[in-house]
A and B are shown apart, each in its own frame.
Chain A
Amino acid sequence: MAGPLGSVVELGAALDAGETSALALLEAALARAAAVEPDLQALRGLRADAARAEAEAADARRAQGARRSALDGVPIVLKDNIAQRGEPTGCASRILEGYRSPFDATVVARLRDAGAVILGRANMDEFAMGSSCENSAYGPTRNPWDPERSPGGSSGGSAAAVAAGIVPAALGSDTGGSIRQPAAFTGLVGMKPTYGRVSRLGLVAFASSLDQIGPLTHTARDCAWVLDAISGHDPGDSTSLPEPPLLCAEALDGDVSGLVVGLPRETAGLEGADPRVLARVQAAVETLEGAGAKCVEVSLPHMRYGIAAYYLVATAEASSNLARFDGVRYGHRAQGAHSLTEMYERTRSEGFGAEVKRRILLGTYVLSAGYYDAYYRKAQKLRTLLRADFERAFEGCDVIATPTAPETAFPLGAKADPLAMYLSDVYTVSANLAGLPAVSLPCGFEDGLPVGLQLLGRPLEDATVLRVADAYQRLTDFHLARPPEPA
């Protein structure tokens, strides 16, 4: 069987040393996909021929000494909600069947400028609504660590593709934990940048005030390389911060002496926290202390209301954003409707899956006359209180450590109750509600399944959380473990 690809840094070094070529890496990625995809179902579409042309161009640049960046020639996959010109963008939904994007997302344009080779699209929960990848209209992706378990979601296909060694890096999107929780479930580094760091132009909108694109990789250094390439101001996204691209990679000095790590005293009391996961996080913080970091207790009293506020804000914004899928301009259209209204209703009822309908209805309800103040506005006020909690906490620490998810990867089908599924995001939604940078990285194993450590930083201090994550990976080898090879 074709073996797994290495990390971005390893592949970049092999390319620089002339030990391999971009085309050879691409063929290795395609062979690996052919070997593992029948079981995994991580990918929604491969663009083998176009990717071969891109790889050959990357090799030609290197031959002329004109490599564009450290990513030049490195294969990567994109979540199925990120637009690539001329390619399908499906959001794993029936309603976008047949749709091809007329433009590149800004992150795609930046990856192309960096020379990355785009292998294809990754499976996801429909419209990024879910925490298990089971809400894909095309069936779930499986976890490479245990095919009976979920890889997490909604960026579960991106996570599984990297964890299984098809590609060394993938892009996902994170609205309430959709990059970090799959990273935790598959033993990867997954980063949600500060809100506004990465352009959302070309990311199909779910909840606009929460959505951010970010990388999934094996290491913090890989993550920094990808994030540096895709970040920075974009005039095409009015919520994009007026800041230059990040330079995280050069901040990774391995030094955590004097760093103060905050541990929220509320962490253990949140719903569903597995004591074994809490113990792994505690041990990870002690590892950082051993390298000169200091640990303090902090308090985030409003963190426990995060899920409630999140499911009001996210569904309200989703109900508005998904109004555009009406069968007029693109995607699925119901046949035989006798009026415009009937066409809208039947198109949407046929095209959307159960969870998307559930969230559109909840969002429509909380925005409807008489309920706006009690729900949406109340939730937006909670965000202000949560941001104030973090501001106070960060007066006394540099990063905050929590579990990424309350438990390790759960079996497919284990969370049939929507509310139980929503609670998987109990530790991750706060970073979205407050706009903070947050990274998940592997900090151990329980019963052969990876455990995720989450590090949150002050707004704009994306480089700090990656510096701490990288320092931790210099002290540990959890990120070097790979899932068992399929039988």
Chain B
Amino acid sequence: MPKLSREEVERIARLARLRLGEAEARALAADLEAVLGYVAQLEQVDTEGVEPTAHVIPFATPLRADEPGPGLSPEEALANAPAREGTAFAVPAVLEGEDEG
């Protein structure tokens, strides 16, 4: 069964933009190990030369004319914004340590 170190779980959590408490990280590591242990049975299947399935019903990628159509107005797009400035979504400073502006 694959072993997941706490550092490995914390690395994945950072990639997924999640912060885990110590107990949460420990519990999730155990859960993930159990699931990865279960899915390891796929190694028994010979998939040499098998094409992966990208779409279950093969058909050509649909194309459309590059013409502008109706979309959301700025007010509609911003209606759910947790914070806004004018017609923009406001977020905290991108660089660490700067004040929310």
Contact = CB atoms under 8 A, between A and B. Distances in A.
A365 B35 CA distance: 12
Nearest to A319: B16
B18 A339 contact: no
A375 interface: yes
B59 A102 contact: no
Of A100, A339, A361, most buried by chain B (CB within 10 Å of CB) is: A361
A191 interface: no
B90 to A, nearest CB: 9
B92 A340 contact: yes
A362 B76 CA distance: 35
Contacts of A239: 55
A474 interface: no
Interface stretch (A30-38, A124-132, A218-226, A321-329): A321-329
Contacts of A417: 34
A329 B81 CA distance: 5
Given A345-B19, A459-B56, 13 more contacts: A209-B56, A235-B62, A302-B45, A311-B38, A311-B39, A339-B92, A339-B94, A348-B16, A357-B24, A362-B36, A365-B12, A384-B50, A385-B50
Interface stretch (A16-24, A67-75, A140-148, A330-338): A330-338
B15 to A, nearest CB: 5
B80 interface: yes
B92 A100 contact: no
A419 B51 CA distance: 28
A432 to B, nearest CB: 9
B57 interface: yes
B79 A419 contact: no
Nearest to B79: A102
- A-B pairs, top 5 by smallest CB distance, nearest first, are A435-B56, A380-B52, A330-B80, A333-B82, A383-B53
Interface residues of B, number: 54
22 contacts: A329-B81, A330-B82, A331-B80, A333-B82, A339-B93, A339-B95, A342-B92, A345-B18, A349-B19, A358-B28, A360-B18, A361-B32, A362-B35, A362-B36, A364-B12, A364-B15, A365-B12, A365-B32, A378-B42, A380-B54, A381-B52, A383-B53
A287 interface: no
A382 B57 contact: no
Contacts of A251: none
A346 interface: yes
B89 A328 contact: yes
Q: Is the interface of B mostly helix, strand, loop or mixed?
A: loop
A451 B4 CA distance: 39
Given A368-B12, A375-B39, A380-B52, A305 B45 contact: yes
Interface in A284-309: 302, 305, 307-309
Given A98-B80, A311-B39, A340 B94 contact: yes
Interface of A: 98-100, 102-103, 194-196, 209, 235, 238-239, 241-242, 302, 305, 307-309, 311-312, 319, 323, 326-333, 337-346, 348-349, 352, 357-358, 360-362, 364-365, 368, 375, 377-385, 387, 417-419, 422, 433-435, 459-460
A215 B46 CA distance: 37
Contacts of A337: 92, 100
A465 B50 CA distance: 29
A382 B47 contact: yes
B65 to A, nearest CB: 11
Nearest to A460: B57
A329 to B, nearest CB: 6
A379 B50 CA distance: 11
Contacts of A340: 91-94
B41 A305 contact: yes
Interface in B55-89: 55-57, 59, 61-62, 64, 72, 76-77, 79-83, 89
Of B31, B72, B83, most buried by chain A (CB within 10 Å of CB) is: B31
A191 B47 CA distance: 31
